[in-house]
């Protein structure tokens, strides 16, 4: 079977609760991404494949920004607290040299259609390869 194309995602976290630095400081830089209780978000979790790249976004903080890149290291399995829901394991890969703020994303041509801007409250969302690339280019 051919290797499937790598997919891209974005997850939100309140840094006061769990920041990207917390992820990197975790054993093996890996944590269980659980507690998601929204069906759209759950479906995205279930679609994640090992090796997919995940933008790590800090919400409810100043400034809100994408701060790092994580990677899916374990595909969806039952949420430890409630098996009806799903969890994945994420490993912190790279902290962005420069955080890409929500304000910059709003202004950037080509990112108008990012789920981050369109679907405010979705905590796990898909990102297109082009959007991913643009964010990376903005971070250096």
Partner DNA sequence: GCCAACGTTGGC
CB of 2 vs DNA, minimal distance in Å: 34
CB of 61 vs DNA, minimal distance in Å: 7
Nearest partner of 126 among 116, 117, 112, judged by Cα? 116
The distance of Cα 106 from the centroid of its chain, to the nearest Å, equals 18
User: Which positions from 74 through 113 interact with DNA, judged by CB under 7 A?
Assistant: 102-103
Task: For residue 105, give the DSSP letter.
Answer: H
* Strand-strand pairing, 65-79 and 53-58: antiparallel
CB of 1 vs DNA, minimal distance in Å: 33
Residue for token pair 């006061």: 16
Among 19, 26, 29, 38, the residue binding DNA under the rule CB under 7 A is 38
Which of 20-28, 31-39, 68-76, 131-139 is the region at the interface with DNA (rule: CB under 7 A)? Answer: 31-39
Assigned token pair, 116:
């981050």
Which residues of the chain form contacts with DNA (CB under 7 A)?
Answer: 12, 14, 37-40, 59-60, 64, 102-103, 119-123
């Amino acid at each position: 079977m051919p290797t499937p194309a790598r997919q891209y995602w974005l997850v939100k976290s309140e840094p006061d609760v769990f920041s990207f630095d917390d992820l990197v400081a975790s054993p093996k830089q890996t944590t269980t991404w659980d507690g998601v209780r929204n069906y759209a978000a759950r479906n995205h979790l279930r679609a994640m494949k090992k090796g997919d790249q995940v933008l790590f976004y800090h919400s409810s903080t100043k400034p809100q920004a994408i701060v790092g890149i994580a990677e899916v290291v374990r595909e969806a399995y039952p949420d430890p607290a409630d098996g009806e829901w799903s969890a994945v394991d994420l490993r912190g890969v790279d902290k962005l040299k420069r955080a890409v703020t929500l304000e910059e994303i709003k202004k950037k041509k080509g990112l108008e259609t990012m789920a981050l801007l369109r679907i405010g409250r979705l905590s796990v969302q898909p990102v297109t390869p082009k959007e991913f690339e643009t964010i990376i280019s903005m971070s250096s």
